[in-house]
Homo-oligomer: A and B are copies of this chain.
């Protein structure tokens, strides 16, 4: 497709290019234009009709957006900003350096500038930052015919008209009615008699994650956003929610792997930025691991007399870490999806206790067969390793199950209580258990 366009460009066939582009999806156009060289990018972009241009523009990466804004005229900038949905315009402005923002703001009319500023003031990750103000509002006194006429007159510029929101004279949200219901109703009916009063909404300052949970719970396509006085100020559409869900999941996965979360794409992130997001946790965990070193040092006489004990340390530590990370991952995910709540802590404890005894005993048994019969290790040492395996797995699963809930109870993010931290904690205890049992069983008296 790209090749085809380049050929048409060379032959200067603007009309053919235009009709080629017109038949395509804006997302695909954006992808293709991102790949062509900067000069042709601007040329092709200028060929697009203005409503399409704004759509394509909103799918560009910030780098390409910046390049275009720097290359086109003030008038062209104004047209794009006017055509963009407000939330896309705000997203774009947030990513631009100061000089570009200046150029853009200069070409924005007073009213729009005020709205953009208001958006930029909503707290980070709040529902206000992802809402759009292009929605249809209706009054309940309208007849169905009046409502549909109102939609026809004002609906062209709206992001979605699938749900229309009913407000009172003070703009307070009263309910919702779907375009479907309006169309399927008799024209002489009144909105008042057919609209749904039970409408799920969020406040501008509510967290995006909270909004996403409501979308999932109620299978919504769009949701109204209100201010503190319950006045309708915008709507959120489900396509933005899909992005939020993926962003939250990415952040959780990053935190679970002991990184500071970042929503920048991996391939586009610089080496030092990537290093910075990883190094702090690695340092913290490395220094915590000093504890395990100290335990081994404390028992160095035990190790010196029975060096073979050292050879089981990595296996015990890995098994403990893996067992703990299984439990913590399940609980962290359950908490994120709202399937597990803080009050379920005792249920989780009881379940993990039983699961860990089943799993731990099996592992200990297999270990015994392998160590005693295959490796022909001394019976008492084999028993020491097996008891430690069982106790480590139980400890790991209980700690792994409860720490994320504890974090949530303390208003911390459960995701940081994942594998790496659990491993460090469990390792320490596993070594203490190991050497204590060894001292006891092998008559090594400290």
Give chain A's interface residues, CB within 8 Å of chain B. Answer: 23-25, 27, 148, 151-152, 155-156, 160-162, 179-180, 183-184, 197-198, 200, 215-221, 238-239, 241-243, 245-246, 249-250, 252-254, 256-259, 265-267, 271-272, 274-275, 278-279, 281-283, 285-287, 289-290, 292-294, 296-297, 300, 303-304, 307-308, 310-315, 317-319, 321-323, 325-326, 328-334, 337, 339-340, 344, 347-348, 351, 354-355, 358-359, 362-363, 366-367, 370, 389, 393, 419-420, 423-424, 427, 431
Contact pick for A267, options B254, B258, B286, B334, CB 8 Å: B334
Q: Which 3 A-B pairs have the closest CB atoms?
A: A257-B329, A289-B315, A292-B314
- CB-defined contacts of A317 to chain B, threshold 8 Å: 314, 317-318
Contact pick for A297, options B267, B303, B311, CB 8 Å: B311
Contact pick for A275, options B179, B296, B358, CB 8 Å: B358
- CB-defined contacts of A200 to chain B, threshold 8 Å: 25
**Chain A to chain B contacts (Cβ below 8 Å), 23 pairs:** A162-B162, A162-B221, A179-B180, A183-B183, A220-B239, A221-B221, A221-B238, A238-B239, A253-B329, A256-B329, A266-B334, A266-B348, A271-B354, A275-B358, A282-B363, A282-B393, A286-B366, A287-B370, A289-B319, A290-B370, A310-B313, A313-B314, A321-B321
CA of A404 to CA of B370 in the docked complex: distance in angstroms? 31
In the complex with contacts A293-B312, A318-B289, A322-B281, A179-B184 CB distance below 8 A: no
In the complex with contacts A310-B303, A339-B266, A355-B318 CB distance below 8 A: no
Q: Is the CB of B279 within 8 A of A423?
A: no
Please, which residue of chain B has its CB at the minimum distance from the CB of A304? B307
Q: Is the CB of A282 within 8 A of B155?
A: no
CA of A272 to CA of B148 in the docked complex: distance in angstroms? 58
CA of A355 to CA of B85 in the docked complex: distance in angstroms? 38
Contact pick for A420, options B220, B308, B325, CB 8 Å: B325
6 further contact pairs, Cβ within 8 A, besides A24-B198, A278-B359, A297-B311:
A238-B239, A246-B337, A257-B329, A265-B334, A285-B319, A304-B304
Q: Is the CB of A308 within 8 A of B318?
A: no
In the complex with contacts A272-B358, A278-B359, A419-B419, A25-B267 CB distance below 8 A: no
- CB-defined contacts of A239 to chain B, threshold 8 Å: 219-221, 238
Q: Is the CB of A238 within 8 A of B242?
A: yes
Q: Is the CB of A290 within 8 A of B278?
A: no
In the complex with contacts A246-B337, A321-B423, A296-B310 CB distance below 8 A: yes
Please, which residue of chain B has its CB at the minimum distance from the CB of A298? B311
Q: Is the CB of B314 within 8 A of A303?
A: no
Q: Is the CB of A286 within 8 A of B197?
A: no
Q: How far is the CB of A194 from chain B (nearest CB, A)?
A: 13
Q: How far is the CB of A325 from chain B (nearest CB, A)?
A: 5
In the complex with contacts A326-B258, A359-B275, A311-B283 CB distance below 8 A: no
Q: A286, A287, A354: which has the most chain B beta carbons within 10 Å? A: A286
CA of A342 to CA of B258 in the docked complex: distance in angstroms? 25
Q: Is the CB of A279 within 8 A of B359?
A: yes
In the complex with contacts A329-B256, A347-B267, A156-B184 CB distance below 8 A: yes
- CB-defined contacts of A267 to chain B, threshold 8 Å: 334, 339-340, 344, 347-348, 351
- CB-defined contacts of A329 to chain B, threshold 8 Å: 253-254, 256-257, 259
Please, which residue of chain B has its CB at the minimum distance from the CB of A250? B333
Q: Is the CB of A351 within 8 A of B271?
A: yes
Q: Is the CB of B333 within 8 A of A253?
A: yes
